[in-house]
Amino acid sequence: MTDQENEPIVPPILPIRPIIELEEVGVTFTQPVIRSISLQILPGQTVAVIGESGCGKTVLLKSIVGLVKPTTGTVRFEGRDIHSLSEAELIRTRLRMGFLFQGAALFDSLNVFENIAFGVRSLGTLPEIEIRERVRRCLLDVGLPTTTESKMPSEISGGMKKRVGLARALALNPDVMLYDEPTTGLDPIMTDVINELILRTRKARPITSIIVTHEMRTVHKVADRVVMFYPLSRLRESDPQILYDGPADQLQNSSDVRIRQFIEGEAGDRMQELQAST
Ligand SMILES: Nc1ncnc2c1ncn2[C@@H]1O[C@H](COP(=O)(O)OP(=O)(O)OP(=O)(O)O)[C@@H](O)[C@H]1O
């Protein structure tokens, strides 16, 4: 036997392929909102997207899920441009992404059980008995008793609605969870409950998460990476719109005054601007 034959076979180390990739994405409505954003999100990452109101965070999430078509650039899911998928492929891809909307976006006319079962049922692959079992498990996963099933959305609190919205998204076993301000409007304890649920979800399954949030506690508790956007109206044409893209625990060390103002919650020159406009 030659030396070469004795050598152990070492598999090649393949670079990890991003699950979501934005390449020079721009979105313009009447005004440009997002300009030339490039991001690569790796499988299993938990990314917090922060930035002041109106800087385009929700538009970013919507362009990832295919609800907003970028004016320029490309959004890829597992390497495929999602805006060039056929209708059927787009639906299949969307089913792999859970979306927790700002107001939970439950169907008011359906009870909690039907709200959670809705997406699973539309897959058309599970018998009713398994749908019942999955709804129960998802409710328990978000810390709600099964007695919640029969309640209407109008009969439950804001925090419970968010948890039902999360259960509905998780019922589809998504590979990616997109959270749009999951804790806005909740008291500090319920905020922490939602943060814990996001963490628990990540521990329970290999999920990639993007969380748009204003809560710095959420950022520090759940995110391993932070991306900070800045409103285009405050930038010059040549300035990058992403002010920070890095580990959550390094954000507070930034010397950029715009980042410091945001994390410390200072109005800065916004007050002079308000006075000038009145
Ligand atoms: N469908 C649309 N048509 C026109 N303008 C839109 C549309 N969607 C969003 N916008 C505008 O794009 C800008 C960015 O909106 P977006 O909701 O992404 O902000 P945001 O950063 O998520 O803000 P907030 O933190 O307040 O939720 C806003 O000025 C908004 O009015």
pTM beyond 0.95, yes or no: no
Q: What local confidence, expressed as pLDDT, does residue 277 receive?
A: 62
What is the residue with the minimal CA distance to atom 30 of ligand 1?
54
Count the alpha carbons within 13 Å of 58 in the hemisphere toward its beta carbon. 11
Q: Which of 35, 57, 71 most suits a substitution to test ligand 1, by most atoms within 8 Å of the C-beta? A: 57
**By percentage, how much of the chain surpasses pLDDT 70?**
91
32 confidence band (pLDDT: 50, 70, 90): very high
Q: Which domain holds residue 210?
A: 20-266
Distance (Å) of CA 51 to CA 9, 68, 147, 211, 242? 48, 19, 38, 12, 9
d(C-alpha 221, C-alpha 218), whole Å: 5
Asked, for residue 81, whether it belongs to a domain, the answer is yes
Domain-embedded: residue 9: no
ipTM of the complex: 0.96
Residue 70 located in a structural domain: yes
Q: Is residue 104 part of a domain?
A: yes
The answer, yes or no, to whether any atom of ligand 1 lies below 6 A from the CB of 57, is yes
Residue of 29, 228, 229 with the most ligand 1 atoms within 8 Å of its CB, for mutation:
29
| Ligand 1 midpoint to CA 126 (Å) | 37
- Choice among 78-82, 140-144, 238-242 with the minimum mean pLDDT: 140-144
Cβ-contact 164, 148 below 8 angstroms: yes
Q: Which atom of ligand 1 is nearest to the CA of 68?
A: 1
Are 141 and 105 within 8 A, CB to CB? no
Examine residue 5 and state whether it is found in any structural domain, yes or no: no
Q: Is the CB of 188 under 6 A from ligand 1?
A: no
The minimum-distance atom of ligand 1 relative to the CA of 229 is 21
Please check whether residue 213 lies inside any domain of the structure. yes
Give the strand pairing for 46-50 and 208-212.
Answer: parallel
pLDDT digits (tens, 9 = 90+) for 95-136: 899 988 776 688 889 999 999 998 888 877 888 899 999 999
pLDDT at 164: 92
Residue 147 near ligand 1, beta carbon < 6 Å? no
CATH of the domain at 159: 3.40.50.300
Rounded to whole angstroms, how far apart are CA atoms 269 and 273? 6
For residue 278, being part of any structural domain is answered with no
User: Cβ distance 212 to 49 under 8 Å?
Assistant: yes
Domains identified in the chain, total number: 1
d(CA 51, CA 259): 9
